[in-house]
Structure 1
Amino acid sequence: MTQPESVQDQDQDPEAAEAALRTVNWLRGSAQNDPAFLPGLLRKGAFAPLVDGLEYARDTGCEDVYWGVCKLFGHYYRASDHGQKFGWYGSGSMGAAVSRLTYWRSGSLGRGPELYLGALIRRRGLPWRELTRACESLRKHDRQPPEWSRLILDLTHWPRPDVIHTWTADFYFHSKEPNPYA
């Protein structure tokens, strides 16, 4: 799968978009080349490599966001073939990703994904617990993850209203479409 193009369009700061993409490229390359990488990433006190994207995060005070998304990446791809199945970059916002969990039961939309979205957007602080649950649910139900570089950029601006609005709009737009994965 190719690198996402929406990252450059998403953020006003091209340097931030490039740093996010470099971080995702590092995650992808490390996960593909070293089977012990993802379990190591999830351990407490994980190593801090010198990666250009992470250097940018340190310089701008966003290191917690970058490392948080690295851990979400680790949660999603651990012990699975999802990298080969869906690619390593993900697709869409977190709202679009959560909408992929929708299912139809007797003609109505299930409420589980809507509850995930509500839990995510209600938080004033960074919603790490909710994001982890959403990524684990996406993996468990065999759904494509969000675009990782876009998630980094969204969370560096959390809880900016336009990010929350985009996640909500993406969720409701995508959940009304027939879901080919359900």
Structure 2
Amino acid sequence: MTTRPGAEPEPSESAVALTKWLASLVHNHDYASLAELRRPRIQREPYFRALWHSPDEAQREVYTQVAFLFAVYHQGRSQPAYGYGSLGDAARRIGSGNGRGPDDPGAARLIDRIVSSRRIPWRHLQHAVARLRACDRQPPSWSRLVDDLNRWHDRRARVPYEWGVAFHIPAARAAAVPSTAAPAASSPEKDSTT
């Protein structure tokens, strides 16, 4: 996965393949398979299909849990939602007419619990997806969620930090952060003595 400054990270092929397969379940109205995925303790064919997309054994839990979250979000929906942005971006969409994102106390508490967790906070992620579904808002990019969760423990990736920034700082403002370059030698302002 590569990142470019100011651009959406490139998702891994396996994460894209998982998302396409999950979306096909919704598109083909395979509600039985989606229901099976919402029962994480029951391991039937859809569970193992989600595992097939995992490139290695260490990532299997992430693939099955994201399939579970996808199925929770799409319960009763007839069109697949591929989502966009990170979970922090998606959490900015949680709320009601009184406020969304940081202006919604429940959303702020939820993202704070998520980003402060050392382990992947599956229950809080489920709550975030359920809140997005209840608010009828777009979910995070499922492919990106897979990749972000696979990098959760990578200190250099700083996934929890990036989600917190995406939640608390609007994208336009984060892009407009002043650079640390030295000021120009000539200033357009007049000297105070002239």
- 1:59 Cα deviation after fit: 2.3
Point out the structure with the larger helix share: 1
Residue 88 of structure 2 corresponds to 95
Q: CA RMSD in A?
A: 2.8
1:1-20 counterparts in 2 under 5 A?
Answer: 10=9, 17-20=12-15
1:57-72 counterparts in 2 under 5 A?
Answer: 57=54, 59-72=56-69
Aligned partner (choices 97, 119, 129) of residue 125 of structure 1: 119
Given that 1:116 and 1:130 are in contact with CA atoms closer than 8 Å, whether structure 2 keeps it comes out as yes
Unaligned ranges ≥5, structure 2 = 174-194
Given that 2:89 and 2:166 are in contact with CA atoms closer than 8 Å, whether structure 1 keeps it comes out as yes
Partner-residue secondary structure (3-state), 1:88? coil
Task: Find the aligned partners of 1:98 and 1:30 in 2 and give their Cα distance.
Answer: 25
The structure-2 alpha-carbon separation of the partners of 1:126 and 1:138, relative to structure 1 and needing over 3 Å to count, comes to same
Task: Find the aligned partners of 1:103 and 1:31 in 2 and give their Cα distance.
Answer: 27
Give yes or no for the alignment of 1:78 onto 2:75: yes
Report the TM-score when normalising by structure 2.
0.72
Partner-residue secondary structure (3-state), 1:62? helix
- 1:77 Cα deviation after fit: 0.5
Runs (4+) off by over 4 Å: 48-51
Residue 157 of structure 1 corresponds to 151
Task: Find the aligned partners of 1:157 and 1:127 in 2 and give their Cα distance.
Answer: 13
The structure-2 alpha-carbon separation of the partners of 1:36 and 1:55, relative to structure 1 and needing over 3 Å to count, comes to closer
- 1:164 Cα deviation after fit: 1.5
Partner-residue secondary structure (3-state), 1:159? coil
- 1:134 Cα deviation after fit: 0.5
Give yes or no for the alignment of 1:170 onto 2:163: no
- 1:24 Cα deviation after fit: 0.5
Unaligned ranges ≥5, structure 1 = 1-5, 178-182
- 1:103 Cα deviation after fit: 4.8
Percent of matched pairs sharing the same residue = 32
Give 1:64's aligned amino acid.
E
Task: Find the aligned partners of 1:46 and 1:60 in 2 and give their Cα distance.
Answer: 16
Give 1:76's aligned amino acid.
Y
Q: Deviations over 1:130-180 (max 9, x none)?
A: 000010011011111000000000001113342112111111233999xxx
